[in-house]
Structure 1
């Protein structure tokens, strides 16, 4: 079987992670990577067997041998790269969010649809084996009709002010994963968002115009309710838990730990802290995410996370932003009708 020929655009942390996973995947050949700072990427690329490092993504997209591209560059470049890759007939994987303006996201989705190429969005948490099992049990009717979804998502430490400045804000950068998980686990669309939040951890984040702590309530089209609990700092590690409650029962998924060993003594019950960082916590899901994208490229099948999924999570993020600003519940229909005023 001829290997799938892949190009990667962006050699930052997430681009390197995907590249390192792909070079260990049978039936895949990473032909080239592009980055605005190619000299800094050459030694790394050479060490894992990537032959070309380029400075211009257009050179990657123009390679007639490439079948697919991974877009791991800064968010403000995504739409242009998606459009160019779609016109070149490449299958596309793009990290989240697609853009900082949901109307531009719609344009990117349209470009992929018009070209007839697959577009997968990087919501890697769907591929976590524990969260996937929750989804499978919900779909199998193990708890009957879903009544509520609760998501706890807390980072181990806050980002730098420099990162916050260009991140799009907490709802677009961090909570967007949770909006996608809420849709995924509930099996329904989010129709309304009501967000409360503030700066309880790092005043510098507030100076950047962002928040570091939030509680977000959701309504779904199927009548269920949701709650997302976000914090930029959990001193004990990366806190990632979900619960789906229904008519006939409840399904939960706990944190991942380095081991499941526990010590019982006269002082209490002791165990290790949860895995500390997202690259460690979701290492298996990143691998599976790429496997399923490769399967879609090879077989011409449907991608597991579509451009539509990316758009719906963005709309929920913008609804949360407006809700926080105006102190009221905001319907996603209201956001979708806007012409980009909330972007940026």
Structure 2
């Protein structure tokens, strides 16, 4: 039995806790949160105890921690958990500072502990199936990746101010998809953007719409288009063009019913909320994390993946702000 402590009892913490307790061989032992009521409610729901971080990390029975707290706490908790010899699952990003993220990666390597970063899109059944078919050579050598990533609505401007910006907060998932799907690294990146949906976002120093172009070491190309407003729902899809064809990963919809009448042909809009769209992915990533611990196999999304996605986010931010293409080391 693996005892686990979770740091963060908010929206994503509740999702991870609920998925954890469904795994055979795992038990949620401690819940810690700056909001005592939230911690107590989540602990009571799953038969766990409320504890502060020090107590949870000092307990030798705790084999792993799930970090689902605010972004500004991630790096500190990774460092403390690594020093305590605990396996770590941490939500993205590792940190908003590349230097801090790199320090975390070094600490994890020195402690020789498992550390997985929560890029749940790699565990989405549709995206995962596309990757499997791509790796099997179904469309030959991949040449171009087009990613569409749009939220139904923007978060409050108060959140935008501390989010690190659209490239670190939102597109960091798409940068991970780029590296995973093309199995390649960027040599140049160009980003442009505008504030088209809410002037409060511009006042907070950010943009809500962006286009990113990437060229890889092998000459492959990737384009990412994103917006914080898609009136029709949560728009998450991509396509890969290869030497022998194309693979597309479409949106998920509540149902696949297609209605055809004399007036129109219609179907459900895409699922509206990211927790609905990636429900299965969140469950699969926690199952993978625990499986990696039990069977001592590498995790699919490492802390190095987190660092490299953050590097791309920083380069995209610089490209947008300075209106130039950023050349990256080969």
Counterpart check, 1:31 vs 2:29: yes
Q: Is the 1:316–1:332 contact (alpha carbons within 8 Å) kept by the matching residues of 2?
A: no
Alpha-carbon distance in 2 for matches of 1:125, 1:280? 13
Alpha-carbon distance in 2 for matches of 1:172, 1:331? 19
Alpha-carbon distance in 1 for matches of 2:86, 2:94? 17
Q: For residue 108 of structure 2, give the secondary structure of its aligned residue in structure 1.
A: helix
Mapping of 1:1-344 within 5 angstroms? 3-50=1-48, 52-54=49-51, 56-333=52-329
1:342 aligned partner: none
Q: Give a deviation string over 1:14-64, Cα, whole Å, max 9, x none.
A: 1111001111222110000111112332123202222x112x322211111
Q: Give a deviation string over 1:64-92, Cα, whole Å, max 9, x none.
A: 10000011111111111111111111101
Q: Give a deviation string over 1:247-283, Cα, whole Å, max 9, x none.
A: 1110001000001001001112111111110000000
Size of the aligned set, in residue pairs, is: 330
1:340 aligned partner: none
Q: For residue 67 of structure 1, give the secondary structure of its aligned residue in structure 2.
A: strand
Q: Give a deviation string over 1:106-146, Cα, whole Å, max 9, x none.
A: 11011111011011000000000110111111111111111
1:339 aligned partner: none
TM-score by length of 2: 0.98
Alpha-carbon distance in 2 for matches of 1:60, 1:79? 17
Q: Is the 2:8–2:33 contact (alpha carbons within 8 Å) kept by the matching residues of 1?
A: yes
Q: For residue 6 of structure 1, give the secondary structure of its aligned residue in structure 2.
A: strand
**Unaligned 5+ residue runs, structure 1?**
335-344
Q: For residue 85 of structure 2, give the secondary structure of its aligned residue in structure 1.
A: coil
Question: Where in structure 1 do 4 or more consecutive aligned residues deviate above 2 Å?
Answer: 331-334
Alpha-carbon distance in 2 for matches of 1:186, 1:140? 13
Alpha-carbon distance in 1 for matches of 2:224, 2:29? 40
Q: Is the 2:9–2:38 contact (alpha carbons within 8 Å) kept by the matching residues of 1?
A: no
Alpha-carbon distance in 1 for matches of 2:328, 2:90? 23
TM-score by length of 1: 0.94
Q: Is the 2:9–2:42 contact (alpha carbons within 8 Å) kept by the matching residues of 1?
A: no
RMSD over aligned Cα, in angstroms? 1.1
**Unaligned 5+ residue runs, structure 2?**
none
Q: Is the 2:31–2:42 contact (alpha carbons within 8 Å) kept by the matching residues of 1?
A: no
Alpha-carbon distance in 2 for matches of 1:266, 1:62? 67
